[in-house]
Amino acid sequence: MNNLLIIGAGQYGAMLKESARALNLYDKIDFLDDNSDEAIGKLESYEQFRDKYKCAIVAIGCADIRLDWTDKLKAAGYEIVTFISPRAYVSPSAKIAEGCVIEPMSVVGTAVHIGRCSIVSSGAVVNHNSTVGEGCHINCNATVKSNSSVPPRTKVDYGEIF
């Protein structure tokens, strides 16, 4: 049983499901969401699915909610996965924590540390020797300069330089 449960069936959840399918790692991929007809259940039912889904990831934009749900899933026994697009460049010396998403065409440089549940969107660059705290979102075409430290739960928006 190598099934994936995605928390959140919105736009980001749909992107994650598509990315997960492209990786061809999971037998089954489903959502939990309180407001989606595509979901197999409501968020509160996450413990009921533990026997059928080994892996989980949270696809919710708000950092606090993303981190909170990741903690709940982990405590319930789910393996929290990290997605790294095969079309992203991630240095072999970079450290990517659990629950992260590294999207296509992004760059994670040498000796970079990405904290848990962070997102590096398409076209973003996290330059060498930088640290991105937990729950961050480095949005499309944003740049984190070398030797920088992005505080936890920070959003570096489209095209910004941090």
Each residue's pLDDT tens digit, 94-134: 999 999 999 999 999 999 999 999 999 999 999 999 999 99
What does the pLDDT read at residue 23? 86
> In sequence order, which residues have a C-beta less than 8 Å from that of residue 119 and are 6 or more positions away?
100, 101, 103, 136, 137, 138
Rg (the chain; Cα; Å): 15
Q: What is the pTM of this model?
A: 0.94
- Average pLDDT (57-61) is 96
pLDDT band at 146 (very low <50, low <70, confident <90, very high): very high
> Where does a domain end: 80, 98, 117?
80
- DSSP-assigned states of every residue in 5-27: EEE--SHHHHHHHHHHHHHT--S
Judge if 32 and 76 occupy the same domain. yes
- Among 58, 80, 102, the domain boundary falls at 80
Q: Which long-range contacts (CB under 8 A, 24 or more apart) does 67-72 make?
A: 67/116, 67/117, 67/134, 67/135, 67/153, 69/7, 69/43, 70/98, 70/99, 70/116, 70/117, 72/46
Q: Are 91 and 73 members of one domain?
A: no
Strand partners, 155: 137
Do 116 and 48 fall within a single domain?
no
Domain that includes residue 125, residue range:
83-156
Q: How far is CA 22 from CA 18, 30, 34, 110, in A?
A: 6, 15, 26, 26
The total number of structural domains that make up the chain: 2
Residue 22's pLDDT is 86
